[in-house]
Structures are given as structure tokens and as C-alpha cells.
A and B are shown apart, each in its own frame.
Chain A
Amino acid sequence: MDNNNPLPSTTRRLFLQRSLIAMAAVAATPVLGSQALTSTAVTSGQTPTLKILSSEEYRTLAAVTDAIIPQSGAFPIGALDIDLAARIDHHLKAELTDVVAGVSGALMFIENKAPEAFAGKTARFSDLETSERESILLAMRDAGGVPTIIFSAMRGLSIFYFYTHEDAWPHIGYDGPLVKRPNPVQQMGV
């Protein structure tokens, strides 16, 4: 599995099978409940102050963003260098309840079900090696159905909030805005 493999959508049976597994997993995810998630230890240092996400969701999101935009390679910085998961949490809006619920559900699925469904691993996603995480995300992308939707959503969130961060700009040759101003709504002090 690599970045340029075409979608195995022609393998209709596999596509459907994977989609059904994934949909069943998503359907089952809510019953995992907070107890199961609470058992997920946060191992990578201190969790920042979070606005929307739980510390467990933050940990999963950090692992996802690291797989999507890893450190080193074409340019040195990656998602972890700007704490992309915390940045995404900061920009999520509580009033957009559907978006928040979607992110929560997607992270639950990736953390608890995707490793087994796509790599035969019983470990949680955030406990896996970086290369294993990337392989799982690529398998989700190529599976079609719900897993691909979840992959696309996570990829979109990660890329949007990474490349709108000024630390990323010098590495992609983007010289950024011509004005330096804060967010006008925050400026109002509300």
C-alpha cells in the first residue's frame, strides 16, 4: 500500500466488505463509552489546555496528524512541532455540534477499531509505530465507504490547520499575509 496505488474500487467485494466492517465498527463505537477511552494513557508529555477535545481524543488526533504530516523528510517540521492537535481543538467551535460530534466519532473509530480492521492489530492506534499508523490511514483511504470519509476528514483538518500556521510557510515558499492582525472577533474581547 502506498500513496499512489489506485483505489481498489474495482475489487467490489473487498470494498463492500471493508466498508461494512468499518460501518459496523463505527456503529459500535459509542458503546465503547468513556470508560474504555479513559484507559488510554496519555504518554507523550503534558496535554495542553483543551477547549473541545478530551485528553484521549487529543492524543489520538496528535497521532493522526503526525502520520499525515510527519517530522523530517522534505522539510523538517511536522504536525507535532506546532502541536497541530491542540491548534485544531482551538479552532473547533462548540456550537457546530455536528462537526464536533463527527470529529469525536472519527477519532474513536481510528483509535479503537481501525488497527484491527485494517492491520489486524489489537493495539490502539496511538500506541502503534508511525509507519504502522500511516499504513492504516492509507488502507482507510483506499477502502472506500465510511473509512475513506473518516480519512478524508482527518486529512482535511490536519492539512488545513497545518498550512495556515506561519511556521509552515517558509518551508513551502509561501510568504504569508501582507498584514499582521489578530482575529477580529477575538480583538473585540468577546
Chain B
Amino acid sequence: MIIQGQEIFSPVKLKTHTLVIGSGSGGGVAAYHMASAGLDTVVLEEGGYFQARDFNQREEDMMSVLYRSGGNQTTADGLITVFQGSAFGGSTLVNTADATPIEPEVLHHWQRQYGLDQLTEEALAASYERVYTMTNVHRLEDRILNRNNLILVETAKRLGYKAGVFNSNRKGCIGSGYCFTGCAYDAKQGTNLTYLPKASALGARIYTDVRVDRIEPLSGGRYRVHASVLERFNRAVRLPMTVEAERIIMAAGTVHTPAILKRSGLDRGLPQLGRNLSLQPQMVMSASFDKSEAMTSWRGAPQSAYVNEWDDNRPEWGLGGFRMEGAGGLVGLLAQSSKAIGHEHKRIMQEYPNTAYTAILVPDHPTGTMSWDWDDNGRVKPRIDYTPTAEWKQRLINGMKQSAKFMFEAGARRVDFNTAVLPSFTNPDQLSKIDDLPIEPGLMNLVSAHPQGSCRVGLNADVGVVDQNLKLHNLDNIYIVDGSVMPTTASTHTMIPIMVMSDRIMHKLANEG
């Protein structure tokens, strides 16, 4: 049963065995396993319920209703825009359906650095199998690869570089190109089309437009959750809701899960809560080709190929180096590449069809912190403090130079970055100017779609928020299964890693009865 906020007309009081907070990668998996086990399950999702027929493939409409803060969430200094889905299905509704596993070197790093001996490839193998089957993970079909992405693979092959085509959780994709604004064809197999409908069919009650405000501990390890039914249009509070539960599974995302714990006063004894944040920031690069070379970045699978020549993943630090990935499908955002205005900007935009867009992903170390405030309406105002390290900045600069050089090798006539600083580059000899790039707020726009780590796994409360079973160190019967548990960034895309981490524990809990 799926109940939308606007279908609720009086205050709600519920009792259940398991309450799942959030319906994205982690929450969807959790809801399914709990319902499969025959446990009375309630899911509360703050965002709205939208279906294929609602998605109109327009950024200006869909980002404001499917993303946190309408897509305007940034770090405190404005340097990095932090995208997170906020709707039925969470970020699985608005991502590019790229299915990448937790890299082996990352697991080795977690074992070595944090002592996480239970998070091994062997221990996760069964979860991968279940998740891949449920979400139809397979290599992307060639027919939906566009030139914008193929040029990465072809150029890499010519240069002898490592590159590949993503695995993906699509089914019957027609290649419309609008993954970021919700799939209008039900091709992307997010939790909205897989785990959640199945959980619902098994008896789970899923409420959308309901924001969890705080968790009140009761006797006997039980909890009462105080929530608010929201107005879809402006997120104003309409009605109160309370849910008493024997178990709480938190999956509100890296920014909001710790916020709920903090507001509930449940952070006592958890010094790592809100710390160790990774953002894996990305820089967007555009490369203009001759008019005869149509890239058509907005059609086909927008992010379907990668160049991993410069990956430097090691057990000493997990993910390292940088990676190039195709990007497309967002005319309003991608048009911002370059620093030009006026007639020069218009000349650049005339080259939109023959411009290739690439994201340069630079994995980071978990150095960010978060704090939160709440407005009179009870809406959380997260503050994300994140300063890139000198080492990361150097990798970004190297990544920008190597990526630009790569695109010149591919035949680009001009390369631009999303900064207010750098000029357009017309040949590789100019790229040394990137060495002096000041990586400062306001001078560039970086993007994060993979925030992780604010409630990381650790062997004890001094070093982590949850244990290896993803249970809170300081309280019984509360688990966290979203990206916040990752000790460091898990992979270049985080949907599958979160699903697998969630599946491992939720499957175990379900089978324990």
C-alpha cells in the first residue's frame, strides 16, 4: 500500500514492527527484506510519489520536485553542489543507472585501516547476486550508447588506455536521455519499480510526503517516531504522524540520517556522527568538435562510458586517481560550462550538438563535517563544511589537464571547464594554465552526487557510528543502511554499494526472524 501525503486528512498514529526511514537504495532494499520476512513494515519517505507519467523531461520542473532543496543544496561555502534525490525511490529515481560495485581495493582499505573484517568480497557476494537480479544489472546495450560516450571508449582504445561501458540497472531503455529527471518509460530499475512495489505487495505500508522529525526512545528498546505529513507543493507541515516501532532502519541519506539522530538527542556517545564526509566532487568539462561530429549528448544513455586509465585504487587509501565519464541530458546545467557571457557565450552554445560533455570524478578522502539547524517549520537546514585537501586539488588539476589532453587527442577544437577562471583552451600547449587554478568558492562549480560517510562503520563508538552489522553503537534496534555508513567513498557510483551493504544486513535480519 502506497499512501501519499495528500491522501491523509487527519493526524496519524501507527504501530509497527519495523519502520524504514527513506525509500532510496538502502531503504528500498530494507523494506523489501523486512516485508518478505512477514514483519509488519512501515516506510516513511519525505519526498513525493511520482510515476513515469509524471516525468516531463524538463530540468526546471523535475529538479525542483525530485531533488533535495530543489537541486540547490551546496556546501557551506558554495563550492560544491550536492545532489540528492528526494522522492519515492530516492536517488535511484534520478541517477544515471550506473551499476558499479564496491572496488576490491576499497574493501581491503576498510579492512586494513578500520579493521572491518566482515566486509569482504566473499561476504558480499550473495548480496550482489540478489541485488543484480532484482534490479536487472547488465552491460549497457550498444544501441543506446551515444557519440558523447562512445568517443571516450574509441579514443581510449586508440591511445591504449583503459576504458569501458557501464553495467546498468535498466530494462527496455529507449535512450531518451532524461535519466536525471526521472525515467518516463519505467526503464530504470530503481527501488521505485523493484524493491518498493514488491514490499508493498508483501504488505508494507509506504507513506510519501512524510518527514521524520525525531525519534523518541521508549522502554524495552522500542521507539516512537514523530513525523510530519507535508504539503507536496511547498513542503509545509500539514498534519502530525507518530509511529511506534520495535526496530528502526534509517535510510534518509548521508545528510539527513545524522540530522534526525542529532535532533533526537541520540548522538550522545557518538562523536563521529556528522564527521568523515566524502563528497567525491566532480568537475564538468566540455569539448567542442567540428560541426560534422554530432555528439548529441542529450540522447541515449547519458553516462554510459568511462575512462579508467588514471584510476589509482590501493589498499592504502581506497579509491585514488581520477576518472572520466560521459555526461549529458541536462541542457540547463551543462550550458554553464565555460566562463563566457554575452555574444561569445552564445557562439559557444551554438555548438551544443557537437559538444562532448565529460565529468571528471576525483575520489576524495573523508574530511568533511556536517552540522544542522532547524527552521520554525521543522525543516532541517544542513550545513556541509568541506574543504578539499591539497592532495585532492592536485589530483583535480592533473585530472583536468589529462582529460583536456585526451579530448584534444579525440579531435576537440576547444575545451572549457565549469569555472569562472580558466579561458577556453584551443590546443594542448595552453593547458599548463590549469596549474595555477585557484580552487576556491565562487571561482568554479563542482558537483557531488555521491555524499557518503557521516555515520561511518567502525569497530566502536570512538571511531564509528554503526558497527559492522550497521547497528548504532549506542542504541539497540536502530540500523543505518544508506550512504552515510561508508568509511570512505565506495565506488564511482554509489547505488549498488549502498544496496549491497543494506542487503547483507537486512537479509540476515529477515532470516533471523
Residues of A within 8 A of B (CB): 2-7, 9-10, 67-70, 72-75, 78, 91, 93-99, 134, 137-138, 141, 144-146, 148-149, 151-152, 155-156, 159-164, 169, 171-174, 177-185, 187-188, 190
Chain A nearest CB from B419 CB (Å) reads: 9
Whether A74 touches B421, Cβ cut-off 8 Å, given contacts A67-B341, A149-B78, A185-B65, is: no
Whether A184 touches B54, Cβ cut-off 8 Å, given contacts A3-B342, A171-B350, is: yes
On whether the beta carbons of B59 and A164 are closer than 8 Å, the reply is yes
Query: Apart from A6-B422, A174-B352, what 12 extra A-B contacts exist at CB < 8 Å?
Result: A3-B423, A5-B423, A6-B421, A68-B345, A72-B343, A74-B346, A75-B350, A93-B64, A137-B341, A148-B420, A160-B336, A181-B53
Chain A nearest CB from B218 CB (Å) reads: 33
On whether the beta carbons of B442 and A164 are closer than 8 Å, the reply is no
| Contact of B117 with A by CB under 8 A | no
| Contact of B462 with A by CB under 8 A | no
On whether the beta carbons of A94 and B441 are closer than 8 Å, the reply is no
B420 CB contact (under 8 Å) in A146, A151, A179: A151
Chain B nearest CB from A99 CB (Å) reads: 6
Whether A99 touches B420, Cβ cut-off 8 Å, given contacts A152-B445, A177-B56, is: no
Instruction: Collect the chain A residues with CB atoms within 8 Å of residue B232's CB.
Output: 185, 188, 190
How many residue pairs bridge A and B at CB < 8 Å? Answer: 176
Instruction: Collect the chain B residues with CB atoms within 8 Å of residue A3's CB.
Output: 339-342, 344-345, 423
Instruction: Collect the chain B residues with CB atoms within 8 Å of residue A98's CB.
Output: 381
What are 12 pairs between A and B in contact, CB < 8 Å? A69-B342, A70-B343, A74-B343, A74-B346, A74-B350, A95-B235, A144-B442, A155-B420, A160-B332, A160-B335, A172-B352, A188-B6
Instruction: Collect the chain B residues with CB atoms within 8 Å of residue A99's CB.
Output: 72
In the A-B complex, list the 8 residue pairs whose CB atoms are closest, starting with the nearest: A149-B442, A177-B57, A184-B54, A73-B343, A181-B56, A173-B353, A183-B61, A74-B346
On whether the beta carbons of A177 and B343 are closer than 8 Å, the reply is no
CA–CA, A97 and B236, complex, Å: 13
The interface centre, meaning the residue of B234, B335, B421, B441 with most chain A CB atoms within 10 A of its CB, is B335
Whether A141 touches B65, Cβ cut-off 8 Å, given contacts A69-B345, A160-B333, A190-B6, is: no
On whether the beta carbons of A144 and B65 are closer than 8 Å, the reply is no
How many interface residues does chain B have, given as a range?
35 or more
Instruction: Collect the chain A residues with CB atoms within 8 Å of residue B59's CB.
Output: 160, 164
| Contact of B410 with A by CB under 8 A | no
Whether A93 touches B70, Cβ cut-off 8 Å, given contacts A10-B436, A75-B350, is: yes
- A-contact bits for B52-89, CB 8 A (1 contact / 0 none): 01111111110011000110100000100000000000
On whether the beta carbons of A146 and B342 are closer than 8 Å, the reply is no
| Contact of B349 with A by CB under 8 A | yes
CA–CA, A68 and B60, complex, Å: 19
On whether the beta carbons of B346 and A69 are closer than 8 Å, the reply is yes
